[in-house]
Amino acid sequence: MSARAPGGAVGSLVRRLRRETPRSTAQRVVRRLHARLGAAELDFPLLPGDVADSTRLAARAPAPRDDGRHTVGFLCTPPSRGSGGHTTMFRMVKALEERGHRCVVLLYDRHGGDAVEQAAVVRAGWPWVAAEVRSVDDGFADLDACVATGWPTAHVLASRAPDDVHLLYLVQDYEPFFFPRGSEHELAADTYRFGFTNVALGHMVQDRLRVELAVGSELIPFSVDTSVYHLHNVGARSGIVFYTKPDVARRGYRLAALALEEFHRRHPEQPIHTYGDEAAGLTVPVVRHDRMSPEDLNALYNRSVAGFAMSFTNISLVAEEMLASGCVPIVNDHPDARADLDNPRVAWSLPTPGALADTLCRVVEGWTAGTAVAAAGSVRRDGWEVPGTEFAAIVERVVRGQALELSGAPGSLTDRAPRDAPASTPAP
């Protein structure tokens, strides 16, 4: 007589456990505990008292200051080494310091981390920045102006800054797109209505502010640090690079991971290098790189034929850094992505697994030494000097009370900002 399979709820559980891997079982348990304990609340980046509301903010009119040397704060979350958004912010800090201004980095951590340890990370990761680093809890008393650097810090600045401080907002992406339609989406969108001087990094951000919210902004252009990212290998290359951010939806991790399965079947001889966060769920063999410095990345790009630089909001800085090193970036084709990198040396692709795999195979199969040279030759060469200079000039004009002309107005910075269109050359 054969034994009967267990029935009911217990039987269903037994059958599921037989099918699942230990990893997936552990993930299921952790997910249930996460939901039961309400751990998702920890992901909200603001303390309740720091949430601002554009309909409740009083008009501000800080007095102009024209003493030549200003003290400018930059309010940010604690950075981790290699953070691209923080690096761009620190480039703006450096530009102000080079013009004789004093800068202060104010760290906001809603979880109450150690500000001394966080300041040490800044010193180690960006040693060329001279700015004082302190907690935002130490206040704004000595500042002429302060710059928000993301939607959570814009709320903190609106809630806490005294009335005599000039407020600006360095907008590196249209951050409502980071979230589905809901609370965080609207809280992010509202920050652009706080009345700060919005400074958009690139045309995509400026256009979205205008089209989505009818909000104006000043513009500074994108750039690439060619002192770090540059071509030094015009010989043989192999393999591709994958910047892995599984928990950042706008980086297209799942699409790229699926594309790599087909690519590896078609080109098993090509090594796949990963860096970034832990590449969970990848089914292809990879060479994992941890804690890479910019110089390490430049060396990796110079050994590689191509790399994924996906972005579904503002274009990733990774794309042009790869180009500068002669590595062809594979980027999802969309007007938002092309707005600030309309470069024919980018391998633009329809964002489906099959199309991405086809594009990657086409680049690898057609690569020559001339491909790397042409890619590196297509990038802009100002090394962030132009964006930094324009940002510093905007801050000076705001603090001195000089009128700014917002996006689209004749003679505005928008009209003067170069788009740095590369030479018209065929795609690789």
Q: Are 326 and 369 within 8 A, CB to CB?
A: no
Tally of CB atoms within 10 A around 330: 26
The two tokens of residue 322 are: 């790869």
* CA–CA gap between residue 64 and residue 47 (Å, rounded): 32
Calculate helix-pair angle for 369-377, 317-324, nearest 10 degrees: 120
* CA–CA gap between residue 422 and residue 322 (Å, rounded): 15
Q: What is the pTM of this model?
A: 0.86
CA atoms within 13 A on the CB side of 3: 2
Q: What is the 8-class DSSP label of residue 14? A: H
CA angle 69, 71, 73 (to 5 degrees): 150
* CA–CA gap between residue 75 and residue 134 (Å, rounded): 10
pLDDT tens, per residue, the chain with 428 residues: 445 545 566 666 566 666 766 655 555 554 565 445 444 565 899 999 999 999 999 999 999 998 789 999 999 999 988 788 999 999 999 999 999 999 999 999 999 999 999 999 999 999 999 999 999 999 999 999 999 999 999 999 999 999 999 999 999 999 999 999 999 999 999 999 999 999 999 999 999 999 999 999 999 999 999 999 999 999 999 999 999 999 999 999 999 999 999 999 999 999 999 999 988 789 999 999 988 899 999 999 999 999 999 999 999 999 999 999 999 999 999 999 999 998 999 999 999 999 999 999 999 999 999 999 999 999 998 989 999 999 999 999 999 999 787 664 333 333 333 333 333 333 44
Domains defined for the chain, CATH in brackets:
48-220 (3.40.50.11090), 240-377 (3.40.50.2000)
Distance separating the N- and C-terminal Cα atoms of the chain: 68
* CA 129 to centroid of chain Cα atoms: 20
Map tokens 């290998």 to a residue.
233
